[in-house]
Amino acid sequence: MDKLIITGGARLSGELRISGAKNAALPILAATLLSQSPVSVGNIPHLHDITTTMELLGRMGVDLTVDEKMNIEVDSSTINSFVAPYELVRTMRASILVLGPLVARFGEAHVSLPGGCAIGSRPVDIHINGLIKMGADITVENGFIHAKAGRLQGCRLVLEQITVTGTENLLMAAALAEGTTIIENAAKEPEVTDLAHFLNKMGAKITGIGTDVLVIEGVEKLGVDSIHYDILPDRIETGTYLIAAAITGGSIKLKNTRPDILDAVLEKLVEAGADITTGKDWIKLDMHGKKPKAVSVRTSPYPAFPTDMQAQFTAMNAIADGVGIITETVFENRFMHIQELQRMGADIKLESNTAIVTGVKKLTGAPVMSTDLRASASLVIAALVAEGDTLVDRIYHIDRGYDHIEEKLSQLGATIRRVPR
Ligand code: EPU
């Protein structure tokens, strides 16, 4: 297994280009299953989860072509299987995103149940119940969701809880249903919005995009003409590099990003003492060499502070001036990074869903273990300021969601290298 070795102490500076958003690319690639014609998707990030999605679609018989710029052309007309097998779903829960499109277009899907993961139990009952309400016949047997359906029927869905991939699955299904579907209490994450714009470009009739009530007038066919769509920039990758610079007292400019979808994160960085300036597609952060001030954050669905940035802020608070209170309300167990940060000298007390982080003068390098994607990012961030070397093990988690992280950090002046297994 590859490892990262990071020597702390370098102040980050320079410019970076942000990649396309993983969590928009995954549903959009799944949504290509709905298209009659080949679809081309651009600004695809270079990530393990993308490779897994391509393998998943490939195993179903879908034809995929990738060019040197990571544009992926997907032709689903050759599909010959409607199965998402356990060995792929196990490595990437987002495989569940093929459920809605398969049922809606082909009337059949067999998707392995994802099960729990490092950040919580993560059930998919809202996805399943929504499809049942739209007329699908669904059974769960031998660890698989088996779905059969004629044409799905539009209906009113009031989601019990805000769910990102749940909203996406139901949105994709509703796009081909007969009649109108209304999804209330829908997730408003920018990645859901990006998927809705993609579906509309393929001919779907979705209104209320960006709000928590999505109205979908079903159409008979999608993607009658070939289209090209570029994925929106990754707001979590953006936030992660901003924190990486902030913790080192650095100064960076991130390009090809979207400040307008990062309000909650940028506000907290300003509170931490960062000077932030933005343009339409760039963000500059300057700490003027200062140490960050501790900030308190409470995670919640968009537009509030994202759970996917919680671990990174925990790491920043670990060496900040003062005490920061981190409250996680989206996932019940998203604190696996804390024990590893403590091994680097952090002073963190965990009380149920709240972490009380008291900034210390210094962290020290240590061998640490990645447990999930964002937890791993927080360890890399802490390592950037730790005294000596930190060896981050099991970085396949990082490779799932960060495009060439060691190259990008090196470009900003960090001392980081990958050690192959
Ligand atoms: N939930 C249910 N029932 C459901 C679905 C969700 O109870 O049927 C609960 C979950 O257990 C959780 C809450 O609802 O407590 C919210 O989970 P959500 O469904 O929104 O999460 P997700 O769709 O599985 C996506 C992202 C995550 C991100 C969350 C929250 C993708 C592929 N994944 O997950 O991204 O943390 O939304 O914003 O879009 C990551 O990129 O590192 C990552 C984990």
The total of other beta-carbon atoms located within 10 Å of residue 106's CB is 15
Please enumerate in sequence order all residues whose Cβ is within 8 A of that of 47, keeping only pairs 6 or more positions apart, or say none.
19, 22, 25, 399, 400, 401, 402, 403
DSSP H stretches of helix in 248-391 = 263-271, 310-318, 336-343, 373-383
Q: Which atom of ligand 1 is nearest to the CA of 306?
A: 38
Model pLDDT for residues 67-107, shown as the tens digit of each residue: 988 899 999 999 999 999 999 999 999 999 999 999 999 99
Q: Note the pLDDT tens digit of each residue in 249-264.
A: 999 999 999 999 999 9
Helix axis angle for 190-201 and 22-31, nearest 10°, is 30
Amino acid at 332: E
Q: Are 273 and 261 within 8 A, CB to CB? A: no
pTM of the model: 0.98
User: Of 5, 54, 79, 117, which residue is the catalytic one?
Assistant: 117
Residue 134 tokens read as 């739209």
pLDDT digits (tens, 9 = 90+) for 168-196: 999 999 999 999 999 999 999 999 999 99
Only one residue has tokens 């979590």, namely 236
Pocket of ligand 1 (CB under 6 A): 23, 26, 94, 120, 122-127, 161, 163-166, 191, 307-308, 330-331, 373-374, 401
In this predicted structure, the answer to whether residue 119 has a pLDDT above a threshold of 90 is no
Report the atom number in ligand 1 closest to the C-alpha of 128: 8
Mutate to test the pocket of ligand 1, among 50, 117, 165, 195 (most ligand atoms within 8 A of CB): 165
Residue 121 pLDDT class (50, 70, 90 cuts): confident
Best residue among 29, 93, 122 to mutate for probing ligand 1's pocket (most ligand atoms within 8 Å of CB) is: 122
For residue 116, pLDDT beyond 70: no
Does 114 score more than 90 pLDDT?
A: no
Mean pLDDT taken over the chain: 97
CA of 300 to the centre of ligand 1 (A): 11
What spacing in Å lies between the alpha carbon of 339 and ligand 1's midpoint? 23
CA of 401 to the centre of ligand 1 (A): 15
| Cα gap 55→135, rounded to integer Å | 29
Interval 51-68 mean pLDDT: 96
Distances from the Cα of 282 to the Cα of 92, 254, 262, 285, angstroms: 30, 5, 11, 10
Nearest-CA residue for ligand 1 atom 29 is 164
* Ligand 1 atom 44, closest CA: 308
Stretch 388-413: mean pLDDT: 95
Q: How far is the CA of 236 from the centre of ligand 1 (A)?
A: 14
For the chain, the straight-line distance linking the first and the last C-alpha, in angstroms and rounded, comes to 4
| Residue 122 pLDDT | 86
Bond prior to 303 in cis (omega within 30° of 0):
yes
Q: How far is the CA of 7 from the centre of ligand 1 (A)?
A: 33
Amino acid at position 213, single letter: V
Q: If pLDDT is split at 50, 70 and 90, which confidence band does 421 have?
A: confident
Burial 292-311 (b: 16+ CB within 10 A, else e): bbbbbbebbbbeebbbbbbb
Query: Which of 33, 38, 73, 39 has the alpha carbon at shortest distance from 57?
Result: 33
Residue 68 CB contacts under 8 Å (≥ 6 apart), including other chains: none
Ligand 1 atom closest to 331 (CA):
15
Nearest CA to ligand 1 atom 36: 308
Indicate which atom in ligand 1 lies nearest the CA of residue 191: 39
- Is residue 117 part of the annotated active site? The answer reads yes
C-alpha of residue 173 to centroid of ligand 1, in Å:
18
- As given in the structure block, the two tokens for residue 252 are 């960076």
For residue 97, the ligand 1 atom closest to its alpha carbon is: 32
